[in-house]
Amino acid sequence: MSAATRRLTTAQALVRFLAAQYTERDGVHHRLITGTWGIFGHGNVAGLGQALVEYADVMPYHQGRSEQAMVHAAVGHARQLNRLRVQAVTTSIGPGATNLVTGAALATVNRLPVLLLPGDYFASHAADPLLQQLEHPVEADVSVNDALRPVSRYFDRVTRPEALVASALKAVRVLTDPAETGAVTLALPQDVQSEAHDWPEEFFADRVWHVRRPAPDPEELAEAVRAVRAAERPLIVAGGGVHHSEAEQALKALVDATGIPVASTQAGKGALRHDHPADLGGIGHTGTAVSDELARTADLVIGVGTRYSDFTTASGTLFQRPDVRFLNLNITAFDAHKLAARTLVCDARSGLTALAEALSGHRVDAAYEAEYRAGKARWEETVRAALRADDDGAVPTQTQVLGALDAVVGDEDVVINAAGSLPGDLHKLWRARSPRQYHLEYGYSCMGYEIPAALGVQQAAPDTPVWALVGDGTYLMNPTEIVTAVQENLPVKLVLVQNHGYASIGGLSESVGAERFGTDYRHRAADGSFTGAPLPVDLAANAASLGMDVLRAKTVRELREALVAARAATRPTCVYVETAPPSAALPAEAWWDVPVAEVSAREAATAARTAYERSVADRRHHL
Ligand SMILES: Cc1ncc(C[n+]2csc(CCOP(=O)(O)OP(=O)(O)O)c2C)c(N)n1
Ligand SMILES: [Mg+2]
């Protein structure tokens, strides 16, 4: 007796399979793939495109404007849903597929799951060379999709229908794995997509993927407890893993019991509420004065779910105490071992809960607690001063824009940003009121993430106000999904900060002796430099032309009114504001390594090199 089979095309089988996948964590089930973004062309129009129309009842379809933006939307969606639900993205072959690369890199760097389904050349080679085919003269099996390999956490090319069965299961394993996740790419040759096959019925049965919470190893836990008990100045560095694991309450319980203070990375901010007495705010190059002071003198740094990027460690210069040691709680051994740490390889919530239990009765020294509380109070003064705007009629600075937004948002509003001078200001100044409010993509810091990500977040949280904050340079990089927000009636809010160019890179350029070269948006002057008048570009009109309601704010008062109106708006709404200098108000509290020209005939570069050599001398290797 042969087992039951169903005759479907490869694309139809894939859609039916994806619609039947579920995640389960802590007893709660979720449909894994909530929808599929797609732009059709040859390579997916007759395969996946046909399957998506045939099965529109089980797989929602979202129409995007650019492939990169569709990945950003999916990544924002997965992050908002703590990686328990994801979206898929399908593209044509060639340019549609290679437009995925930036989005895939962003997903993989940030360990955020997304399923990519680019079309690929004929597996049969029958009609080579196809439109848009790369004809590699030596490696005939190479396609442009191979550019997705290094930026994918799992990659396969499904060159025969029946190969889909094993490949699809492996793909979903990576999409649902709490340690090894990122972009998952199934490249689908277009002839194979349309080919029929007799699939085992079981392939389409509901399948539940348990998202595990591995507990700490008892020996590692005992070592960790000894280290924490012995530490005089312990400091927790909270990373994105705290959020992915939904470990915020467990972190708070540990901190309430022990008094250990918490500094957070860009991905980890909001792990504790900003007004918790042990929350010190951001750490590292964009961190707060109190976090960075404590980091310099900490004897035990407890990393929880962090990758320790250069921004966090101030490029290896932040943790200066000679006998400083690290204890890393991370579900990924790869990250846990960084900085020659003691390791606690486990889920963040499991590990923090076990630590709190094993540390019962332990509390940091009262003098230490008083010291960091005083530092926190001083920093809160700095924040208040930066956010405050006394003159209602004045043009706001960028930090006053953040102050106005801070006054308008509710506890659950989501604020999205990724690049420019805003991430530094936000890391220092934003008062995160709930775990998912502070949505900074700073693993890849990709200009153009913000607007599409807002769509994915809004789809995940339909009743929550979602704000995308973008600079003018970032807006120009990727405004296309405004059209999608209009089409889907997603009432995302865009705050568009006009300062006529790349203010952040201009400042960086100056500090590294590169004289702001190429960073202002200005006409070309007679001497060939871009130092002429500002460009007569009207980005507010541009956003309106794409279908947004636009509110232009010229003063602090108008800005406040516009933000209130935008928050209440039921359509996609843009608040456009030109800011007054300085564009990034607060100086960095710690260094960041951007190597400066070792030889130059220009004074700016030689002076910057001298300063660079002083800073680089502070770098430590933690062994
Ligand atoms: C896709 C991409 N290209 C280049 C960069 C490098 N970069 C970082 S910030 C920035 C300028 C951002 O300009 P804008 O959005 O106007 O913000 P501002 O610096 O003016 O605050 C650039 C070019 C990047 N992060 N992402
Ligand atoms: Mg700008």
Q: How confident is the model at residue 584 (pLDDT cuts 50, 70, 90)?
A: low
Give dist(CA 554, CA 216) in Å, integer: 55
Give dist(CA 306, CA 191) in Å, integer: 43
- Give pLDDT tens digits for 457-476: 999 999 999 999 999 999 99
Give dist(CA 603, CA 558) in Å, integer: 43
Q: Is residue 471 lining ligand 1, measured as CB closer than 6 Å?
A: yes
Q: Is residue 583 lining ligand 1, measured as CB closer than 6 Å?
A: yes
Q: Which ligand is nearest to the CA of 421?
A: 1
**Residue with structure tokens 């948006």?**
521
Q: How confident is the model at residue 139 (pLDDT cuts 50, 70, 90)?
A: very high
Mean per-residue pLDDT for 174-194?
A: 98
Give dist(CA 445, CA 505) in Å, integer: 13
Q: What percent of the chain has pLDDT over 70?
A: 99
Given a cut of 60, whether residue 1 has pLDDT beyond it is no
Q: Is residue 425 lining ligand 1, measured as CB closer than 6 Å?
A: no
pTM: 0.98
Given a cut of 80, whether residue 271 has pLDDT beyond it is yes
Given a cut of 90, whether residue 135 has pLDDT beyond it is yes
- Top-level CATH class of 218-378? alpha beta
Q: Which residues contact 193 (CB under 8 A, 6 or more apart)?
A: 9, 10, 11, 44, 46, 47, 48, 51, 119
Cis omega (within 30 of 0) for bond into 582: yes
Give dist(CA 54, CA 606) in Å, integer: 65
Give dist(CA 225, CA 357) in Å, integer: 10
pLDDT of residue 3: 83
b/e code 556-573 from CB counts within 10 Å (16+ = b): bbbbbebbeebbebeebb
Q: What amino acid occupies position 450?
A: E
pLDDT of residue 581: 87
Q: How confident is the model at residue 46 (pLDDT cuts 50, 70, 90)?
A: very high
Tokens of 16: 């039916």
- Give pLDDT tens digits for 90-101: 999 999 999 999
pLDDT of residue 604: 97
Give dist(CA 441, CA 537) in Å, integer: 27
b/e code 437-458 from CB counts within 10 Å (16+ = b): bbbbbbbbbbbbbbbbbbbbbb
Please say whether the dihedral angle defined by the alpha carbons of residues 278, 240, 228 and 325, taken in this order, is positive or negative: negative
**In the CATH scheme, what is the code of domain 5-210?**
3.40.50.970
Backbone angles phi, psi at 453, to 5 degrees: -60, -35
Q: Under CATH, domain 388-500+535-578 is a member of which superfamily?
A: Thiamin diphosphate (ThDP)-binding fold, Pyr/PP domains (3.40.50.970)
Q: Which ligand is nearest to the CA of 469?
A: 1
Q: What is the DSSP string of 374-406?
A: HHHHHHHHHHHHHH----TTSPPBHHHHHHHHH
Q: How confident is the model at residue 586 (pLDDT cuts 50, 70, 90)?
A: confident
Give dist(CA 323, CA 318) in Å, integer: 13
Atom of ligand 1 nearest to the CA of 474: 15
Domain ranges of the chain: 5-210, 218-378, 388-500+535-578
Q: How far is the CA of 445 from the centre of ligand 1 (A)?
A: 9
Q: Is residue 240 lining ligand 1, measured as CB closer than 6 Å?
A: no
- Give pLDDT tens digits for 491-515: 999 999 999 999 999 999 999 999 9
Given a cut of 70, whether residue 79 has pLDDT beyond it is yes
Probe target for ligand 1 pocket from 266, 426, 440, 447, with the most ligand atoms within 8 Å of CB: 447
b/e code 61-88 from CB counts within 10 Å (16+ = b): bbebbbbbbbbbbbbbbbbbbbbbbbbb
Do residues 263 and 238 touch, judged by C-beta distance below 8 A?
yes
Pairing assessment for the beta strands 493-498 and 549-553 based on DSSP bridges: unpaired
Strand positions, DSSP E, 206-350: 207-210, 234-238, 262-264, 279-282, 300-304, 325-330, 342-345
Q: Is residue 145 lining ligand 1, measured as CB closer than 6 Å?
A: no
Q: How far is the CA of 420 from the centre of ligand 1 (A)?
A: 4
**Residue with structure tokens 């809160």?**
380
Mean per-residue pLDDT for 274-303?
A: 98
SS3 329: strand
The candidate with the shortest Cα–Cα distance to 311, out of 262, 261, 376, 266, is 266
Q: Is residue 446 lining ligand 1, measured as CB closer than 6 Å?
A: yes
Give dist(CA 441, CA 499) in Å, integer: 21
The candidate with the shortest Cα–Cα distance to 537, out of 582, 578, 480, 584, is 578
**Residue with structure tokens 């002796």?**
513
Mean per-residue pLDDT for 468-493?
A: 98
Mean per-residue pLDDT for 209-217?
A: 98
Q: Is residue 499 lining ligand 1, measured as CB closer than 6 Å?
A: yes
The candidate with the shortest Cα–Cα distance to 154, out of 176, 170, 177, is 170
- Give pLDDT tens digits for 345-399: 999 999 999 999 999 999 999 999 999 999 999 999 999 999 999 999 999 999 9
Neighbours of ion ligand 2 (CB under 5 A): 471-473, 499, 503
Q: Where are the alpha helices (DSSP H) in 179-245?
A: 190-194, 218-230, 240-244
Q: Is residue 88 lining ligand 1, measured as CB closer than 6 Å?
A: no
Q: Is residue 401 lining ligand 1, measured as CB closer than 6 Å?
A: no
pLDDT of residue 583: 64
